[in-house]
Amino acid sequence: MDIEIISKKKMYNGYAKVEQWQVSQNGQTKTVECVQRGQSVAVLPYDRNTDSVLVVSQFRPGAIDQGPSLIEMVAGMIDEGETAEQAALRETIEEVELALDGSALTKLGRFYLSPGISTETTTIFLVEADLSQVDVNKIGGLVEEGEQIRKHLISAQELRTMLASANGASVTLALAASALPL
């Protein structure tokens, strides 16, 4: 496939950066938009003793047709100079106040979530943890980022049932759930 980027024009420079590209593909020119997002992580804490997982919900504008929030994994952007593993550990503290043992992280892979429009990749981790001390009644997240993250401790079976109904879960959650023990 013969592709040449002829030009790039910044359209928006906020939380997401949007560029408009002129692209020549096999001699045909077209205009495309690309959201520049960077790299992120998603973490699914799993408690083998109770066969339960810790998921979160928060406002997600892209999923507004499903309701104001979406059930998903602990997740966030990888900061400059940070590894995916370091970001995973930081995000679980920020979002759900759960300190993890980094050696317990199991990397499931790195995936493009929507490559037709975005450069963002997400590294997904499954981590075994003791979830008995998680306070699901306390809102998580960083106040300075406007986060209001609700925590949900559910059985692995409930998660599988929810995903089977395909009722607005994130794709990263579905991928991680497939790695849970049966």
DSSP designation for 15: S
Six token digits for residue 23: 């692209």
Is 158 annotated as a binding-site member? no
Is 4 annotated as a binding-site member? no
Q: Is 33 a catalytic residue?
A: no
User: Which residues of the chain have a pLDDT value below 50?
Assistant: none
- What is the model's pLDDT at position 20? 96
Is 120 annotated as a binding-site member? no
CA separation for the pair 52, 49 (Å, rounded): 8
Task: Write out pLDDT tens, residues 84-100.
Answer: 999 999 999 999 999 99
- What is the model's pLDDT at position 99? 93
Contact 44, 177 (CB under 8 A): yes
Can you say whether the dihedral through the CA atoms of 137, 55, 123, 109 is positive or negative? positive
Structural domains in the chain, sorted by start:
3-35 (no CATH), 38-177 (3.90.79.10)
- What is the model's pLDDT at position 170? 64
